[in-house]
Protein backbone atom coordinates (compact mmCIF):
# COMPACT_ATOMS: atom_id res chain seq x y z
CA UNK A 1 0.00 0.00 0.00
CA UNK A 2 1.48 3.30 -1.05
CA UNK A 3 1.45 6.20 1.36
CA UNK A 4 -1.03 8.05 -0.88
CA UNK A 5 -3.54 5.19 -0.73
CA UNK A 6 -6.36 5.78 1.71
CA UNK A 7 -7.96 3.12 3.86
CA UNK A 8 -11.07 3.54 1.76
CA UNK A 9 -9.04 2.60 -1.34
CA UNK A 10 -7.71 -0.49 0.42
CA UNK A 11 -11.26 -1.72 0.94
CA UNK A 12 -12.45 -0.43 -2.44
CA UNK A 13 -14.98 1.96 -0.90
CA UNK A 14 -16.04 5.56 -1.29
CA UNK A 15 -15.55 7.94 1.63
CA UNK A 16 -19.28 8.01 2.37
CA UNK A 17 -19.58 4.23 2.87
CA UNK A 18 -21.74 3.08 5.77
CA UNK A 19 -20.93 0.40 8.36
CA UNK A 20 -22.61 -2.41 6.44
CA UNK A 21 -20.68 -1.59 3.25
CA UNK A 22 -17.41 -1.51 5.18
CA UNK A 23 -18.12 -4.88 6.78
CA UNK A 24 -19.18 -6.45 3.46
CA UNK A 25 -16.06 -5.17 1.67
CA UNK A 26 -13.84 -6.45 4.48
CA UNK A 27 -15.40 -9.92 4.46
CA UNK A 28 -15.14 -10.17 0.67
CA UNK A 29 -11.46 -9.18 0.65
CA UNK A 30 -10.67 -11.32 3.70
CA UNK A 31 -12.07 -14.40 1.96
CA UNK A 32 -9.82 -13.74 -1.03
CA UNK A 33 -6.62 -12.64 0.76
CA UNK A 34 -6.53 -14.60 4.00
CA UNK A 35 -3.27 -16.64 4.18
CA UNK A 36 -5.20 -19.83 4.98
CA UNK A 37 -7.09 -19.59 1.70
CA UNK A 38 -4.41 -18.76 -0.90
CA UNK A 39 -1.85 -21.04 -2.51
CA UNK A 40 1.31 -21.81 -0.53
CA UNK A 41 3.63 -19.74 -2.76
CA UNK A 42 1.46 -16.63 -2.27
CA UNK A 43 1.11 -16.82 1.52
CA UNK A 44 3.63 -14.08 2.36
CA UNK A 45 2.17 -11.58 -0.10
CA UNK A 46 -1.31 -12.54 0.98
CA UNK A 47 -0.46 -12.10 4.66
CA UNK A 48 0.82 -8.57 4.04
CA UNK A 49 -2.31 -7.67 2.06
CA UNK A 50 -4.54 -9.18 4.74
CA UNK A 51 -2.81 -7.09 7.44
CA UNK A 52 -3.50 -3.93 5.41
CA UNK A 53 -7.12 -4.94 4.85
CA UNK A 54 -7.61 -5.71 8.55
CA UNK A 55 -6.01 -2.41 9.59
CA UNK A 56 -8.32 -0.52 7.23
CA UNK A 57 -11.37 -2.36 8.58
CA UNK A 58 -10.29 -1.85 12.19
CA UNK A 59 -10.05 1.90 11.68
CA UNK A 60 -13.10 2.43 9.50
CA UNK A 61 -15.46 0.21 11.50
CA UNK A 62 -14.87 2.14 14.74
CA UNK A 63 -16.80 5.45 14.62
CA UNK A 64 -14.26 7.38 16.73
CA UNK A 65 -11.22 6.08 14.84
CA UNK A 66 -12.97 6.73 11.54
CA UNK A 67 -13.82 10.33 12.51
CA UNK A 68 -10.20 10.98 13.45
CA UNK A 69 -8.97 9.31 10.25
CA UNK A 70 -11.38 11.32 8.07
CA UNK A 71 -10.25 14.52 9.79
CA UNK A 72 -6.58 13.66 9.22
CA UNK A 73 -7.31 12.66 5.61
CA UNK A 74 -8.96 16.00 4.87
CA UNK A 75 -6.11 17.88 6.57
CA UNK A 76 -3.54 15.96 4.52
CA UNK A 77 -5.29 16.75 1.26
CA UNK A 78 -5.63 20.39 2.25
CA UNK A 79 -1.92 20.61 3.19
CA UNK A 80 -0.77 19.00 -0.05
CA UNK A 81 -2.90 21.45 -2.01
CA UNK A 82 -1.46 24.44 -0.16
CA UNK A 83 2.11 23.19 -0.58
CA UNK A 84 1.71 22.49 -4.30
CA UNK A 85 0.14 25.93 -4.79
CA UNK A 86 3.08 27.65 -3.09
CA UNK A 87 5.60 25.74 -5.25
CA UNK A 88 8.01 25.25 -2.42
CA UNK A 89 8.14 28.93 -1.51
CA UNK A 90 7.61 28.03 2.14
CA UNK A 91 10.74 25.88 2.28
CA UNK A 92 12.91 28.58 0.71
CA UNK A 93 11.47 31.20 3.07
CA UNK A 94 12.26 28.99 6.06
CA UNK A 95 15.82 28.41 4.88
CA UNK A 96 16.47 32.12 4.35
CA UNK A 97 15.03 32.98 7.78
CA UNK A 98 17.42 30.67 9.60
CA UNK A 99 14.87 27.95 10.38
CA UNK A 100 15.53 24.49 9.09
CA UNK A 101 13.05 21.79 8.25
CA UNK A 102 12.67 19.19 10.97
CA UNK A 103 13.37 15.58 10.18
CA UNK A 104 12.08 12.47 11.82
CA UNK A 105 15.43 11.65 13.38
CA UNK A 106 15.80 15.02 15.10
CA UNK A 107 12.26 14.92 16.46
CA UNK A 108 12.87 11.79 18.50
CA UNK A 109 13.76 11.79 22.16
CA UNK A 110 16.78 9.55 22.55
CA distances from 39 to 10, 31, 47, 86, 110 (A): 22, 13, 12, 49, 44
71 within domain boundaries? yes
Q: Rounded to whole angstroms, how far apart are CA atoms 89 and 63?
A: 38
Number of domains in the chain: 1
Residue 85 has pLDDT above 70, yes or no: no
**Single pTM value for the model:** 0.65
21 in a domain, yes or no? yes
Confidence of residue 19 (pLDDT cuts 50, 70, 90): very high
- Asked if the model's pLDDT at residue 107 lies above 80, the reply is no
Which of 22-31, 69-78, 90-99 is the least confident region? 90-99
State which residues form the domain around 27.
7-77
Asked if residue 69 belongs to a domain, the reply is yes
pLDDT band per the 50, 70, 90 thresholds, residue 42: confident
Question: What pLDDT sits at residue 35?
Answer: 85
Tell me if 22 is assigned to some domain.
Answer: yes
The CATH code of the domain that includes 54 is: 1.10.287.110
105 belongs to a structural domain:
no
Beta carbons within 8 Å of 60's beta carbon, 6+ residues apart:
7, 8, 11, 13, 17, 22, 66, 69
Q: Please check whether residue 67 lies inside any domain of the structure.
A: yes
Contacting residues for 2 by C-beta, under 8 A, at least 6 apart = none
Q: Is residue 99 part of a domain?
A: no
Q: What is the mean pLDDT of the chain?
A: 78
Q: How many CB atoms lie within 10 A of CB 2?
A: 5
Helix (H) or strand (E) holding 64, with range, is helix 63-86
Range from 6-10, 11-15, 30-34, 86-90 carrying the lowest mean pLDDT: 86-90
Q: Is residue 85 part of a domain?
A: no
Amino acid sequence: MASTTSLYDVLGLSIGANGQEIKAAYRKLARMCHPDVVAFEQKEISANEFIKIHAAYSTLSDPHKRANYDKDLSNRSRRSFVYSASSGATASAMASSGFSCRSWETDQCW
